[in-house]
Amino acid sequence: MAQATFSVRMDEELKRQFDSLCADFGMNATTAFNVFARAVVRERKIPFEIVSPKQDITRNDGMKAFMALREEAKVNGIQDLSLEEINTEINQARSGEDHE
């Protein structure tokens, strides 16, 4: 199969760290990029999640988070807190107080 050259620009420190990590894996940067490219082609997607630092929270996302917290409270045996106890927990968390 014919070979092609692919050039990438990146921060020097990032390249140094990447080269060092690739060496720890027993490969060079070219091999690592080939592994990445093959995974992208095979999976037809980027093989890891890419997330924006800014997230638009939808009502559905909020409800999922709430339900996850309810389940965690149930597992930890604290699902029966009163509204006053919940507000105390919230206020302590906001002020950075240790509440245990």
pLDDT tens digits, residue range 2-28?
Answer: 999 988 899 999 999 999 999 999 999
- Residue 56: HSE in the Cβ half-sphere, 13 Å Cα cutoff: 1
Cα–Cα distance measured from residue 27 to residue 33, given in angstroms and rounded to the nearest whole number: 10
What's the Cα-to-Cα distance from 47 to each of 23, 38, 40, rounded to whole Å?
A: 21, 10, 6
Q: Are 4 and 11 in contact (CB under 8 A)?
A: no
Q: Could you say which DSSP state residue 82 is in?
A: -
Give the chain's residues under pLDDT 50: none
Cα–Cα distance measured from residue 29 to residue 36, given in angstroms and rounded to the nearest whole number: 10
State which amino acid sits at residue 15: K
- pLDDT, residue 78, reads 67
pTM exceeds cut of 0.85:
no
In the chain, domain spans: 12-43, 59-95
